[in-house]
Amino acid sequence: MELVSGKKKANKFFKQISMSVCLSFAVFGSCWAQTNDPWQGFNRGVYKFNDTVDRYTLKPIAKGYQKITPKFVQTGVSNMVDNLGEVRNFGNNVLQLKLHDAGVDLARFGFNSTFGLLGFFDVGSKMGLQRNEQDFGLTLAHWGVPSGPYLVLPFFGPSTVRDATGRVPDFFMEITPYINDRGVEYSIWGTEILDTRARLLSLEEMIVGDPYIFIRNAYLETREYKVKGYVEDDF
């Protein structure tokens, strides 16, 4: 059975967004800063804190993980993490009244959790059931809630007021908080954090210029892309 990796699509998607950001920032850079980042002084301070913590903890661990772990295992772990997120995707698609997508989310979770060995294999994609990434920030946007100012959160990184607010309901849409075994719960959280950080290692090479500005604009462009419901092209 062949593994289906989300990393390739993520890299292509991020490259597309990064190119758009570079072009838009070259023309509209000052406007972006004024209209989307009024708390830049505070945000830069938090960004520096996060970067320092990451440099001495998460990044070295993620590099070690990638170095010693076979690629197919890394892909399988990423698939398992994505599979756990299907519950959140389902909940938010229901709240957005996207019932077809919600049905796909539910089917993906069922097939991947059983035939895919708890999500290690992404059999859902092989069956034509494509993942619908959702979160409560997108749900709020769907119902007309504006994004609000750009905001960098300690440990969590780039966000907006709307997306930061959405993290709370998303937490309760995850499976992990309802697991009674603390050891299992913490292991899942740790695996999700490690997998997320490892996925970002290759994307760091695309950062040009001021990393704070690049990451900010890439995040805002990406969120706008998702809010408008654009479909990623496999180019």
Least Cα distance to 18 among 234, 163, 193, 203 occurs for: 203
Split at pLDDT 50, 70, 90, the class of 25 is very low
Q: How much of the chain exceeds pLDDT 90, in percent?
A: 78
Amino acid at 42: F
Give Cβ neighbours of residue 22 (< 8 Å, ≥ 6 apart): 208
Q: Quick check: 133 and 226 in contact, CB under 8 A?
A: yes
Q: Is the pLDDT of residue 20 over 60?
A: no
Query: Helices 182-201 and 71-84, interaxial angle, to 10°?
Result: 120
Of 231, 207, 209, 229, which Cα lies nearest the Cα of 219? Answer: 207
160 forms bridges with which residues in the sheet?
A: 150
Q: What is the pLDDT of residue 230?
A: 63
At residue 26 the predicted structure's pLDDT band, cuts being 50, 70 and 90, is: very low
Residue 29 scores a pLDDT above 70:
no
Distance of alpha carbon 215 from alpha carbon 70, whole angstroms: 29
Task: Name the pLDDT band for 36 (thresholds 50, 70, 90).
Answer: confident
- pTM value is 0.82
DSSP assignments along 118-151, one per residue:
TTTS-HHHHTT-------HHHHHHHTT----SEE
17-21, 128-132, 170-174, 207-211: lowest mean pLDDT where?
A: 17-21
pLDDT in tens, 49-61: 999 999 999 999 9
Give the C-alpha distances (Å, rounded to integers) separating 106 from 79, 96, 170, 173.
Answer: 15, 15, 17, 13
Looking at residue 55, the DSSP 8-state letter turns out to be I
* pLDDT beyond 60 at 200: yes
Instruction: Tell me if residue 43 falls in helix, strand or coil.
Output: helix
Residues in the chain: 235
CB 188 within 8 A of CB 179: yes
Q: Is the pLDDT of residue 13 over 50?
A: no
